[in-house]
Amino acid sequence: MFISASAWGLYWIPLRFLEDQGVGGSWAVALLNAPAALLLGVVLLFQLAAHRGHMREAAAIGVITGLGLALYGLGLVFSSVMRATLLFYLTPVWATLIGIVWLEEKATWLRWVAIGVGLIGLLMLVSGGGASVPLGIGDVFAFFSGIAWAVGAAMIKKYNAVPLVGMTVFQFASTAFFGLLLGAVAGLLVPPDLSVIAASLPSAAGISILFIIPAVMVLFWAQKFLFPGRVGLLMMSEVLVAAITASLFLPHERMNGIEWLGAALIIGACLVEVLLAPSDKV
């Protein structure tokens, strides 16, 4: 989980690359997820027997997690990389509450300390006054992405007998669909030239199949065994990778001191819970 989430810290790079090529943010999200949906859809056809009795749960998990990843992708495009990434990490708050109510998870006092520290960090992040990228619709997308992902994580944990292929097919298809739908609702859906899509499709398909499919499937597999609150905190390894890469390649999005202090508190919340809290009982 920790390693796979770290890879997600690079997700902003192909999204921004496609946008620079003329494939707008919503279309970039769709283009990076549709090839994976098509490939796994073919695989699903050969595994229908294994999915018998699980298709409804697979679809529900896929739609919710797909919505979360579409919101997150749009947040990365329309906000700063670091702020969108960190806003997503309200996930442990929602995931812990869902875990307590729905999964009868017993949250330790260290988990609550981690959540409190993380919330303080997030308040500092959004009130830090960074002027490079003003608060906007991308931040709204990023905030709600964490809620959707937390619900999806709880569903994966509760319905852990659902095969990976089924839920990921619906997830990739839903991410592409919601990416376009949310872009249209927000007035951000600008159709790119067909020649631009054709030129970008090979690289997008390669990233989708070779990078995004493994990263998603590892996350989904691990969530069958870990409570969603722990999942959300372990996934904060993504913040470290995003911080390093964004600071190197996006100097115009650098955060100020208060925002970095907020980021440090969020990462500290992850370390407090993961290093000191007892392991989940499964």
Flag whether 209 is in a domain: yes
Domain annotation covers residue 245 = yes
This prediction has a pTM of: 0.86
Residues 6+ apart with CB under 8 A from 64: 148, 151, 152, 155
> Is 178 inside any structural domain?
yes
Structural domain range at position 93: 2-276
Tell me the per-residue pLDDT of 41-76, one tens digit each, with 9 for 90 and over.
999 999 888 888 889 999 999 999 999 999 999 999
| Residue 146 CB contacts under 8 Å (≥ 6 apart), including other chains | 68, 87, 88, 89, 90, 91, 94, 232
- 281 domain residue, yes or no: no
Tens digit of pLDDT for each residue in 79-134?
Answer: 888 888 888 877 767 777 776 777 666 767 777 777 788 788 878 877 765 546 67
Q: How many structural domains does the chain have?
A: 1
Residue 196 belongs to a domain: yes
Q: For residue 276, what pLDDT band results from cuts at 50, 70 and 90?
A: low
Number of helical (H) and strand (E) elements in the chain, helices listed first: 14, 0
User: Residue 74: inside a domain, yes or no?
Assistant: yes
